[in-house]
Amino acid sequence: MRLLLRKNFWAIFLADMTLLILCYFYAYWLRFDGRIDRATQMLMVVTLVPLLLCKMSSFIFFDLYKGMWRYTSINDLVNVIKGAVAGSLLFVVYLAGRYHFLGISRSVILADLIFTIVAIGGLRLLIRLYFQRQPGLLVEELSFWRRSRADVRKVLIWGIDPCAERLLRELSGGHKTQYKVIGFVDESSVHKGMKIHGVPILGSLEDIPHLVVFYEIDDIFIAVPNMPGKKIKIIIETCAGLGVRFKAVPSLTERINGAIADHLRDIKVEDLLAREPVQHDMSVVCRELEGKTVLVTGAGGSIGSELARQIMVFHPETLVLLDNAETPLYNIEMELRRTPGSIKVIPCIGDIRSMKNLDRIFKQYKPDVVYHAAAYKHVPMMEIAPLDAIHNNILGTYKVATIACKYAVEKFVMISTDKAVKPSSIMGATKRVAEMIVQSMNGNGTRFAVVRFGNVLGSNGSVVPLFEKQIAEGGPVTITHPEVARYFMTIPEAVMLVLIAGAMSRGGELFLLDMGEPVKIVDLAKNMIQLAGLVPDKDIEIKFIGLRPGEKLHEELLIAGEDVVDTAYEKIKVCKNANNIDERILYEAVERFNVLVEDSYDHHAAVSILKRLIPAYHHEDKTVFRDVVTIVKPDTIASPTPPSSKKVQT
């Protein structure tokens, strides 16, 4: 009934009937050289309806009306031959029983068979040629007939678009015999029962659990590039507990000049949390960076290295990479040097806590734009070493910003975090003070901006690598609290928005990136366990260990009194009223921090200063501070200039 309700079915059905009538009449016309007597004409008309019944029933039997025309394959053409031969044989049986072949020309039946195969098969081939318009369309189909090995993995393909059809052809080829495609599934059941290259469309989302059990499916391949994360998550949750592995076809950029099947990859948690893609005009970034000298601090880290990769796209003249970790810096340098082009990539081993080191680098390379991504960010670790966090995040930021002013850097963009909002941790408090320092320095000839966002997936120290390791080890997966939630964004998207925000800055702004909806960490853990083909709390235990010092249940992106204003870019907001900073108190605190780092290393005194500087900061006094040996001897910071003068002394 579903087939009969499809208008496309009736179109091809009537087209086939028309072609069969023409083929039959042309066979008679050819046999009698165009001169058909009246008796033969009557016989031809009388036998036409039985001919149509025999052939159309054979076509239906061999599934000629369940295929999707645009994907006509060798398999469909073989079915056309089978249907035509079977129909002709049925017609011969009818003629033998009804007329005993009296007055029937056997050459007419043979010619009609040949014309039928050419016409019916040609119609379907023309439809495919029209939709795909590519040379050599059927060459790849020849490998479809090779049989797979006995140890194949059974596969369902999600999707029926051209990408899914191409994936089927590649998996059916001789070079991909480890997979056997059982069928297709799609969002709706409209196409259920139809076939693509002889492989049936088995159903929709709600049918998947039954299909997995019935056909003993091993893998589900999602053949929809850039599929929204919410839809992927629904599919995975539908298969919870069935032990199915998931893979996804690559994006366009991942499969240029390559086969889809060769680039199939496991679905990552980033795919589940990916937001709807938004196209941004990156010309503003190109104008900002093209032909410039750009310096990235913390270039070996997850954010800094991605900044370096994306900056390379906009053709700066020189890219200076600054980091105090040798191996990560070496890795990103080697990666960027493989990028075609004449961009100079200069790695600099250095520490943002050393004013002399910074002065040497800025004096030598004279950067036009600085992206400040260097920071200590591990919350529990900074809780036991607050002065090290202050030394790096506050004093290090102060020194980089001061040197930037001294050498007339055009623009300085600092990467901040949502943990700076109502901070409950040392790390969050130090990043908030760093925000205040950067904003207060705007107006010294350098335009300063801050970009604040939440967690990024896959960054060094994030929960995703931790969960992956725990799942690989068999569990348990440890979570601090059942209700803990965080904002998440992929690293490439966050960096792209940082570049746009920095380029559109006029100085003094605090930008917020739209992080979407917060994600519960327990849901994230369950999704990752299911992606591994396992069952949460059955195969892998989820264990709650309690909040660690400095951690909050929920993160925020706004401080009280900060109003948000939209920008021309959908996912970038800017804070109003974010510049109410008492510079005298701020720089007195900076000087006191410097004294503490240089002389006493009194952790409790440092925390007390942070509390007075940030009234919203609440710190657990139960923390046991650790004595830390400082590797880099801190430089002396000059006394800060009173807020009445905007010139920063260096």
What are the start-end ranges of the H helices in 3-47?
A: 7-31, 38-46
CB 124 within 8 A of CB 72: yes
Phi first, then psi, for residue 352 (nearest 5°) are -70, -10
Q: Crossing angle for the helix pair 48-61 and 74-98, nearest 10 degrees? A: 140
Residues 6+ apart with CB under 8 A from 543: 475, 476, 477, 478, 479
Phi first, then psi, for residue 456 (nearest 5°) are -115, 140
CB 88 within 8 A of CB 112: yes
Task: State the Cα angle at 326 between 322 and 328, rounded to 5°.
Answer: 80
Nearest to 318 by CA among 285, 365, 272: 365
Alpha-carbon span 611 to 594, nearest angstrom: 17
As given in the structure block, the two tokens for residue 342 are: 């004449």
- How many Cα atoms within 13 Å fall on the side-chain side of residue 301? 24
One-letter amino acid at 396 equals G
Residues 6+ apart with CB under 8 A from 544: 478, 479, 480, 481, 482
CB 301 within 8 A of CB 374: yes
Residue 445 DSSP class: S
Q: Active-site residue numbers?
A: 419
Residue 486 DSSP class: E
